[in-house]
Structure 1
Amino acid sequence: MSQAPLVLVDGSSYLYRAFHALPPLTTSKGLPTGAVKGVLNMLKSLRKQYPDSPFAVVFDAKGGTFRDEMYAEYKANRPSMPDDMRVQIEPLHQSVIALGFPLLCVEGVEADDVIGTLARSSAAADRPVIISTGDKDMAQLVDGHITLVNTMSGSSMDVEGVKEKFGVAPEQIIDYLALMGDSSDNIPGVPGIGPKTASGLLVGVNGGLTELYANLDIVPTLPIRGAKTLPAKLEEHKEMAFLSYQLATIKVDVPLDIGLDDLQMGAEDPAKLYELYTLLEFKSWINDLDRDAKRQELSAAAEPAPAGDLFSPRAEEAPAAPTEAAYETILDQARFDVWLEKLNNAKLFAFDSETTGIDAQQAQLVGLSFAVQANEAAYIPLTHSYIGVPEQLDRDTVLRALKPILEDPNKLKVGQHAKFDMNILANCAIGGDQNEGITVRGIAFDTMLESYVLNSTATRHDMDSLAQKYLDHTTVSFQDIAGKGAKQLTFDQIALEQAGPYAAEDADITLRLHQTLFEKLSAIPSLASVLTDIEIPLVPVLARIERQGAFVDAELLGIQSIELGNKMVALEREAFEIAGEEFNLGSPKQLGVILYEKLGLPVLKKTAKGQPSTAEEVLAKLAEDDHRLPKVLMEHRSMSKLKSTYTDRLPEQINPRTGRIHTSYHQAVASTGRLSSSDPNLQNIPVRTAEGRRIRQAFVAPKGYKLLAADYSQIELRIMAHLSKDEGLMNAFRNNLDVHTATAAEVFKVELSEVTSDQRRGAKAINFGLIYGMGAQKLGKDIGVDTKTAKAYIDTYFARYPGVREYMERTRKQAADQGYVETFFGRRLYLPEINSNKPQERAAAERTAINAPMQGTAADIIKKAMVAVDNWLASSGLDAKVILQVHDELVLEVREDLVDQVSQEIRLHMSEAAKLDVPLLVEVGVGNNWDEAH
């Protein structure tokens, strides 16, 4: 017999909805009662539907929450609660309790967070959950165990229901809300992105916000209106999008001192109900009570404790470590010696560093934790500095003792995002010597990468998420021990009583996750090979590139900022001249008046309030139609973006210790295996405009050195030739023909020597467009022909290269049959929407299925090339270092007299990174700056 579901009621949501949706009721004395009656009716109905279920009715507590600390404007536009609603809260709470329902209010979080925590906990125990709410935010909680019901409308929503309503899966709802925002809560989102665009973006990249930002280059190819202008808009509002993501995320780890047993329905309190119903003048319910018992019996009933005493909120302490775990904080030499012996004898151990921050190039080491077997771990504090801290072991003595173990390649280690710890230890400056750190060797596993390789889209790959998913364990979060917002402590300020168990748990969970994840990977040899042959060897390579950094000419960037500023002023003047008056270029209202009322431009789209839209995609479409002012506005926005994101920002990101910029590379973000970077994001520096290329000119070689850029030529097309086995395409590459010219000759039926530049450009659009699933309409628009002509070109292409069409059809079928596609090296990308009954979702998944093997194989090849080049540089001892990786390109800093030798070797190692049926061509450029070398 199946368990009765846990029923969680969003009391605050229903209070608001009942107040605004139901007819107002008042007592004879003028007391408003309509919302109370509406909510109680709903609760009574739920009780009849689920008579055997435990319940919790959850309301927002008074005061602010962590979201207000995160974003001062959170819910700022929501009008203050009407007095007629406020006076109903207390009698409603009292009535809920008197009916026997457990009532919860927890300070510092919203009702959604309490519901999310209880729902996830119950679902983890395989108990079904019903969440009664009217809020769309809750859709993010829906899974195989959790269903939403709207008791007022009688509707329900499971996983398929969420997909049908919102166009995205429940796990994408947070990303969906982050993109489109939520006006009711004043979550900003990305301006101009509505529900359809948000769902289209997420479906198009087959992932969430992180995957979207890692794949902005494919956004213009997606079947979304205004897709061309979306990358710039998304990049401009990236910070706000990720803030919105945090604001929209329902917490599922709120510390609660209650369990399922505490949520069992209690007995009704007839005396209290009679008192409340009399106050509220609910005469029919009073009559019901009269029929159940005599009035004198009701009057004699004992009154319960006031509502505020039941489940009253209190300060919560951080969750304790699991009772079975043996964690210790090492403060004396004897215990440290014991652990040194354990580490020396261990076949494999997990380690983790605690630091003062998350910038691996500037954060300071605070302590280290280790685990040698499950549920046994230790933390060695080194530099905690709060008042009253116990005496710690000498930092340099500990590091020198650990150095031989950590640097021994034969002592195998596992970390969670081990690259960060490697950089911290490399920069730890033992004895104050910046040149004496710890070069960690022997990283055999990384749980973040194990999860990523196992399934790049199944979950986030941070330790807390992985522990919850694979170990059913809720870890102690950093906020639990450090606090939140401006008052958050750095780790060196946290008391050892809290810091020790937290840090030891990190190492313990890392080891336990590895034991679970690698067993799963080992069952799929191709995935285990991707981990051990590609991802793990790349970790130290990326760590070295990050530490090396790149020189940037801050003075040149300053000059460019001034020039961009001047161009923006000139464009502003031009806009004023066209408009015939001055106006605020950033004001949608003023812009709308100028564009539509004064200039009479066509209205292509309206806002939710019915006003003509001035969103970026609208301006882009108007600019495409040769309207002068939208063109000027778009150019102004482009200049503004370059200035704020690059020329103004890059000088601020120069590390004061090294004088270089140190980006961070991410292996476990893009679902296809591609690397991404941040702080700064070097993958998105524009190269198609003169202004964008000038930014690359600021990346310079130091005196006596040159920058060398080695780039794979048309690698994805070469991979397409290999995968499709199309003889025509393979012959073009084998004969070292210009593939775009060769394609033009085939499509336009002319000799190679007769191909014009326009024909080659059209062929190039076809070659690359087909990889991304471009249709005839989009192709026609790109190359300036009608849709019928573009379709004829595509048909001719497939007739000349039939293997490409066969590959596409074969890949679609394989994806539908097995639910995933693979790269040349066996990396998998799972496609949950490949068999969707919604044509748009299925089509997007099919496009991804065709493109992912090429994009993923290209990513794997450049990763293998990076490892090969790094190994060669290390063995050769030459004065040359890789300083940047961007897409299919490696950038090296090379001593001038070694340029020819390094160029030759780089070509060799990169071209041999994979054995395809067509050659890999590597183009090498050299210059004093990145733009010259590219």
Structure 2
Amino acid sequence: MDEAHDDAPLLVLVDGSSYLYRAYHAMPDLRAVPGDPASPPTGAIRGMLNMLQALAKTHPTEHLAVVFDAPGPTFREALYPDYKAHRAPMPDDLRAQIEPILEVIGLQGWPVLRVPGVEADDVIGTLARLAAQQGWRVVISSGDKDLSQLVDERITIVDTMSGKVRDAAGVEAEFGVPPRLMLDFQTLVGDAVDNVPGVDKVGPKTAAKWLQAYGSLDGIVAHAHEIKGAAGEHLRRALDWLPKGRELLRIRTDCDLAAHVPGWPSLEALRRRPADTAGLRAFYERYGFRSLARALDEEAGAPDAPAQAALPMQAAPLRCTVVQDRATLQAWVERLRAAPLAALDAETTSLDELQARLVGLSLAVAPGEAAYIPLAHEGPDRPAQLPLEEVLQALRPWLEDAAAPKLGQHVKYDLHVLANHGIAVRGYVHDTLLQSYVLEAHKPHNLDSLAERHLGRKGLTYEQVCGKGAQQIPFAQVPLERAAAYACEDAEMCLAVHGVLWPRLQAEPALQRIYRLEMDVTHVLLRMERHGVLIDAAELRRQSEELGRRIAELEAEAHALAGQPFNLGSPKQIAEVFYGRLGLPVLKKTATGAPSTDEEVLEKLAEDYPLPAKVLQHRSLAKLKSTYTDKLPAMVNPATGRVHTHYAQAVAVTGRLASNEPNLQNIPIRTPEGRRIRRAFIAPPGWRIASADYSQIELRIMAHLSEDAALLKAFAEGQDVHRATAAEVFGLPPEAVSPEQRRYAKTINFGLIYGMSAYGLAKALGIDATAAKNYIERYFERFAGVRAYMERTRAQAKARGWVETVFGRRLFLPEINSPNGPRRSAAERAAINAPMQGTAADLIKMSMVAVQRALDEAGLRTRMILQVHDELVFEVPEDELEWVRREVPRLMAGVATLRVPLVAEVGIGPNWEQAH
């Protein structure tokens, strides 16, 4: 937008119809009463509120309107009865949210417009043109590219969800034509969504090329006889249609809005009114938006209060003692000793647990009472504080006493930080983060969320205390009184949250066992993270150089196939070469309507064309190089000479661990180049790498859960389960099964676990859908117990909203009763797979605890260094190899008794690749 207009008044126009669908598809299936599918749906309402509030922050103005399509036909249906004929009807649960959305927008004070006989785009076009003519700046908030025909020096389109801005330059860069030619461009291309034909086989590239050559649609029509080839033939066949298509796609800018905008053509009717606070509060309560209601109450209670005064809601006033002298410290040491349970929280210099140093410690031993011990505060107003080492020595006997019960929020982090200071904390018996994770894995587990969800309290945030972005200061520089209030509150809220969550766990013995397992795993992970993994940096550098050479070769080969150089890392340039230059078939489009070049599309195109195969190879090798061979050597800790990953326990709803910074669980092993990366994970001299993993663990769990006789028999007899499956499906004796038939059976076995459809199986096997459907039907005939398990599990999931593992871990499925078909189908697939994946996660965690306990009891030096899915990796001194070969598989197989035997196998080698 021209800077000369910056001082002009601003009108914001919201494409409410576009927002409506985007909010519906972006949000989960929320309900006014959580978990009750019979209560009103609220996901689209909450999504709309979020989007409108975000827009109000980025584009503050007093003049705005939210414009929706009115019910009933428009002039376009009269002009062309097939207009929008193929558009699916609005989902019932979205339709049910329209009136509440209109109501709450009105309560917010935003003008709402719905004009019969025309579309929202026409109302927006009319308002935008009028405002521009009167000297206003106009921002249209929409994801709809059709509105681009309205753009000029005063009118801009913003898409708040993608961040895209379509001003005049942006439109031309995106579509290849200026805004004044967008209607002509759209007429040539057509609009499949609204069922408006364009010129057959003419896409955006051709349309833009013609318009650049002939200046307008009229110019193209005048020279239609000159345009050669199939495109010219298609154009000439469409000449009679084009005027009607153009009229259908033209956004009207002359609608009569007098009956809908008081005082028209004055824009003062679009001034925002004061919000109806009482009406909003009642609305939020009616639809279950409790956090919005609380925020409204807080805002009403202290509208002009400074940020420092935004103190949390308390059940009782919090008394915070700042420990700055020896007598107070000693008094708190005695209180800790006498407490049945004490909460401990560390304030530090870094989120990197291996680098973080203490700034202060907070403690809580009773509701409403906490203490903060400053240890390393700095700055011009550096407060009085006891020497760090003196405080740690005073606390050390309590910290290292296993009989002194302690509680924390994300205990593993605090254990690392105190270990950085030479203190091995013992006696941690509770972690509120893990309590929340076990009780409700699908929800946030940070302390702020837990306090708000379970206590109705809202504490000070880190940003309120330290600031945001470039203005953020280290915690060590926060004024002591403010730092103490924040830290004391964290420790005391942790104690209060525990008081709510622990009784819930005690009432559920199975969940309590899972929680105890997670607590035990925390201590195993702590040791793994601190020890780290030895990396052969020279080997990775060699691989990086080789990958670089191969990447360059692939680039040259791709350029030769394309007939021109292009950036293989640019989806836009790839699309231009594939679809514009080479005319490859468009298999899928992106959300913006551009031809897709995602991996699925490239894999399909690679079946018939050599260039997409080269691009896929290039992508794969470039990712390996950037993610692993280049990055891992740079992540070696100079103090230890090792790479230290971080394992997150409370992320995956299935119970699986997540590795990050770096992620060592996703190193690809399907390609030789990916497998070679594991060669760089080495043992020190005199040691070896051992890899122990479960054999076909999820299929064994399927056999246990389904109690299918044929599967149980195959595992009990130690048969090759894929060969046994093939024998059943193809009606052959096992010895007659061919390698190809075994491959089919393996794909079916694993595919069904993950809810693969006949279409998915056909794609995986390279066969037609009918044959795949027949294979699946034959499988279920022979393995009737598997079908019964799947049907039973789906029904249980729909009734309860969750499924569970063999050991009682609950796996929640919020979308299992969603009226949105794709979401519901995905949840149904997850309902079948989650118990198997979750049980496998439980088993590997049980193995980690059992093996570490056995290593400690035997006094061995072997160290567990990695956990990857169903695999444990060890660093083993050569004199302990026999113990590992013998005991680790026995321990892993013995952690649980299922209806089929658990089998674990161990490999040994100088590096991970050769051990696996």
CA-CA distance at 1:284 after TM superposition:
11
Verify the 8 A CA contact 1:318 1:476 in the aligned structure 2.
Answer: no
**Correspondence for 1:343 among 336, 354, 365:** 336
1:621 is matched with 604
Verify the 8 A CA contact 1:325 1:375 in the aligned structure 2.
Answer: yes
Q: Deviations over 1:351-394 (max 9, x none)?
A: 11111011111111222111101111111111112222122112
**Are 1:602 and 2:602 matched, yes or no?**
no
Supply the distance in 2 between the matched residues of 1:571 and 1:882 (Cα, whole angstroms). 39
Q: Residue 572 of structure 1 aligns to which amino acid in structure 2?
A: E
1:516 is matched with 500
1:319 is matched with 310
2:113 is matched with 152
**Correspondence for 1:383 among 376, 383, 390:** 376
1:551 is matched with 534
Q: Deviations over 1:399-426 (max 9, x none)?
A: 1221221221211111111010011111
Verify the 8 A CA contact 1:130 1:147 in the aligned structure 2.
Answer: no
Verify the 8 A CA contact 2:793 2:803 in the aligned structure 1.
Answer: yes
**Correspondence for 1:467 among 443, 447, 451:** 451
Distance 1:419 1:60, change over 3 A: closer
Distance 1:710 1:153, change over 3 A: farther
Q: What SS does structure 2 have at the residue aligned with 1:655?
A: coil
CA-CA distance at 1:766 after TM superposition:
0.8
Supply the distance in 1 between the matched residues of 2:54 and 2:593 (Cα, whole angstroms). 36
Supply the distance in 2 between the matched residues of 1:707 and 1:372 (Cα, whole angstroms). 45
1:505 is matched with 489
Distance 1:690 1:823, change over 3 A: same
Kindly report which structure 2 residues correspond to 1:290-439, keeping only aligned pairs within 5 A, or say none: 316-317=307-308, 319-320=310-311, 322=314, 324-428=317-421, 437-439=422-424
Distance 1:131 1:477, change over 3 A: farther
Q: Residue 113 of structure 2 aligns to which amino acid in structure 1?
A: M
**Correspondence for 1:537 among 507, 515, 520:** 520
Distance 1:133 1:651, change over 3 A: farther
**Correspondence for 2:872 among 890, 915, 918:** 890
Kindly report which structure 2 residues correspond to 1:182-197, keeping only aligned pairs within 5 A, or say none: 184-185=159-160, 187=162
CA-CA distance at 1:670 after TM superposition:
0.5
Q: What SS does structure 1 have at the residue aligned with 2:665?
A: helix
CA-CA distance at 1:903 after TM superposition:
1.9
What stretches of structure 2 of length at least 5 have no aligned partner? Answer: 1-7, 18-48, 66-99, 117-142, 144-156, 165-261, 271-301
The two structures have a TM-score, normalised by structure 1, of: 0.68
Verify the 8 A CA contact 2:263 2:269 in the aligned structure 1.
Answer: no
CA-CA distance at 1:728 after TM superposition:
1.2
What stretches of structure 1 of length at least 5 have no aligned partner? Answer: 1-11, 22-55, 66-74, 76-80, 94-127, 135-145, 156-175, 177-181, 190-276, 286-310, 429-436
**Are 1:585 and 2:571 matched, yes or no?**
no
1:456 is matched with 441
Q: Residue 697 of structure 1 aligns to which amino acid in structure 2?
A: R
Distance 1:317 1:13, change over 3 A: farther
CA-CA distance at 1:720 after TM superposition:
0.8
Q: What SS does structure 2 have at the residue aligned with 1:16?
A: strand
CA-CA distance at 1:57 after TM superposition:
15
Supply the distance in 1 between the matched residues of 2:15 and 2:822 (Cα, whole angstroms). 39
Verify the 8 A CA contact 2:683 2:689 in the aligned structure 1.
Answer: yes
Verify the 8 A CA contact 2:692 2:904 in the aligned structure 1.
Answer: yes
CA-CA distance at 1:777 after TM superposition:
1.7
Verify the 8 A CA contact 2:410 2:434 in the aligned structure 1.
Answer: yes
Q: Deviations over 1:884-919 (max 9, x none)?
A: 101011101110121111221111111111111111
Q: Percent identity?
A: 50
Q: Deviations over 1:254-282 (max 9, x none)?
A: xxxxxxxxxxxxxxxxxxxxxxx999979
CA-CA distance at 1:785 after TM superposition:
2.1
Q: What SS does structure 1 have at the residue aligned with 2:12?
A: helix
Q: Kindly report the root-mean-square deviation, in angstroms, between the aligned alpha carbons of the 2 structures.
A: 3.4
1:825 is matched with 807
CA-CA distance at 1:658 after TM superposition:
1.0
Verify the 8 A CA contact 2:524 2:849 in the aligned structure 1.
Answer: yes
Q: Residue 510 of structure 2 aligns to which amino acid in structure 1?
A: S
**Worse-superposed segment, 505-514 or 788-797:** 788-797
2:217 is matched with none
2:887 is matched with 905
**Correspondence for 1:492 among 476, 490, 496:** 476
Distance 1:613 1:793, change over 3 A: closer
Distance 1:721 1:610, change over 3 A: closer
**Worse-superposed segment, 839-848 or 885-894:** 839-848
Supply the distance in 1 between the matched residues of 2:714 and 2:9 (Cα, whole angstroms). 63
Supply the distance in 1 between the matched residues of 2:396 and 2:559 (Cα, whole angstroms). 65
Supply the distance in 2 between the matched residues of 1:609 and 1:398 (Cα, whole angstroms). 60
Kindly report which structure 2 residues correspond to 1:257-272, keeping only aligned pairs within 5 A, or say none: none
CA-CA distance at 1:818 after TM superposition:
2.0
Q: Residue 13 of structure 2 aligns to which amino acid in structure 1?
A: R
Distance 1:794 1:91, change over 3 A: closer
Q: Deviations over 1:770-803 (max 9, x none)?
A: 1111112211221222222222222222222211
Q: Deviations over 1:470-520 (max 9, x none)?
A: 111111111111111133222222221211111111111110000011122
**Correspondence for 2:426 among 431, 435, 441:** 441
Q: What SS does structure 2 have at the residue aligned with 1:327?
A: strand
CA-CA distance at 1:761 after TM superposition:
1.1
Verify the 8 A CA contact 2:362 2:372 in the aligned structure 1.
Answer: yes
CA-CA distance at 1:922 after TM superposition:
0.3
Supply the distance in 1 between the matched residues of 2:775 and 2:109 (Cα, whole angstroms). 49
2:785 is matched with 803
Verify the 8 A CA contact 1:132 1:149 in the aligned structure 2.
Answer: no
Verify the 8 A CA contact 1:561 1:648 in the aligned structure 2.
Answer: yes
**Are 1:725 and 2:679 matched, yes or no?**
no
Verify the 8 A CA contact 1:551 1:659 in the aligned structure 2.
Answer: yes
Supply the distance in 2 between the matched residues of 1:352 and 1:604 (Cα, whole angstroms). 54
Q: Residue 323 of structure 2 aligns to which amino acid in structure 1?
A: I
Q: Residue 12 of structure 2 aligns to which amino acid in structure 1?
A: Y
Q: What SS does structure 1 have at the residue aligned with 2:308?
A: coil
Q: What SS does structure 2 have at the residue aligned with 1:408?
A: coil
Q: What SS does structure 2 have at the residue aligned with 1:682?
A: coil
Supply the distance in 1 between the matched residues of 2:109 and 2:588 (Cα, whole angstroms). 33
Verify the 8 A CA contact 2:11 2:63 in the aligned structure 1.
Answer: no
Supply the distance in 2 between the matched residues of 1:18 and 1:639 (Cα, whole angstroms). 44
**Correspondence for 1:686 among 661, 668, 677:** 668
Q: What SS does structure 2 have at the residue aligned with 1:891?
A: strand
Verify the 8 A CA contact 1:620 1:634 in the aligned structure 2.
Answer: yes
Q: Deviations over 1:525-550 (max 9, x none)?
A: 22122112x11111111111111110
Verify the 8 A CA contact 2:12 2:64 in the aligned structure 1.
Answer: no
CA-CA distance at 1:133 after TM superposition:
4.4
